[in-house]
Amino acid sequence: MKLHREGYKIVLIATLLLGGILFGLSSLDTPQWLMSLLGLPLLVLYILIIRFFRNPPRYSDKTENGVVSPCDGKVVVIEEVEETEYFKDRRIQISVFMSPLNVHVNRNPISGLVSYFKYHSGKYLVAWHPKSSTENERTTSVIKSGNGTEILFRQIAGAVARRIRWYIKPSDKVTQGEEMGFIKFGSRVDIFVPIGTEIKVELEQKVTAAETLLAVYK
């Protein structure tokens, strides 16, 4: 299993802590039943940490005018809204919630030129809260496709996720499905597409980063 670089430090610390605790218990001649009682939950936690930072390969079919999911998770919002930061008009919002069990690597939903990027500090409301899209710590990215269509998406921190990473900046040329960032622990990503875009997913549907087609724009 490939480990994402954002997890190197945390996994190393967890390995040292787990090894230190188990070594300490064994050096104190701790009874086997107590070793199991204390060690098993720690081992399970260690495995969960490693799984959280897994980075499986993903392949986009690069559907013409297609918008792929930028993350793994479940679709929790599909609605027409007013996008107030960049477009300042009506858009269709698709929101994907990531639980701590999901892969948390974020990927470009389309290929094109990064025409806008901004980081916002903010609150840490639960990721499914309606105001988390505008009040939580977040990034806003806009990619312009070859035909001039712009797709906006936001990495949004949740109540647990308090660290967002991004690897893109304005004027970068990016490819659909490539890594653009990482959010540590439960969080969500909002995608804003033009009115009239054909939506290809449904509420509660599970989606996979780079591989699930969310929408097709004109």
- Give CA–CA dist 71/154, Å, rounded: 11
Same-domain check for residues 125 and 185? yes
CA atoms within 13 A on the CB side of 184: 14
Q: What is the pLDDT of residues 82-120, one digit of tens each?
A: 999 999 999 999 999 998 889 999 999 999 999 999 999
- 46 and 154 share one domain: no
Adjacency order of strands within the sheet including 206-207: 173-174, 112-120, 138-144, 150-157, 187-193, 89-98, 73-83, 206-207
User: Could you tell me the two tokens for 165?
Assistant: 């990473």
Phi first, then psi: what are they for 59, rounded to 5°? -130, 120
Longest distance between any two alpha carbons in the chain, whole Å? 69
Same domain, 113 and 17: no
**Residues 167-213 pLDDT 10s:** 999 999 999 999 999 987 768 899 999 999 999 999 999 999 999 99
- Both 87 and 170 in a single domain? yes
Confidence of residue 34 (pLDDT cuts 50, 70, 90): confident
Residue 38 scores a pLDDT above 90 = no
Q: Could you report the per-residue pLDDT of 113-140, keeping only the tens digit for each?
A: 999 999 998 665 655 555 556 667 889 9
Same domain, 90 and 142: yes
For residues 46 and 98, membership in a common domain is answered with: no
Q: Are residues 48 and 120 in the same domain?
A: no
- Give the separation between CA 98 and CA 70, rounded to whole angstroms: 11
| pLDDT recorded at residue 132 | 53
User: Is 154 a member of any domain?
Assistant: yes
The tally of domains found in the chain comes to: 2
- What is the per-residue pLDDT for 48? 87
- Asked whether residue 57 is domain-assigned, the answer is no
Range 57-68 average pLDDT = 89
**What average pLDDT is seen over the chain?**
89
**Cβ–Cβ under 8 Å, residues 69 and 48:** no
Positions annotated as catalytic residues are 187
Which residues span the domain enclosing 14? 5-52
Neighbour tally for 193: CB within 10 Å: 24
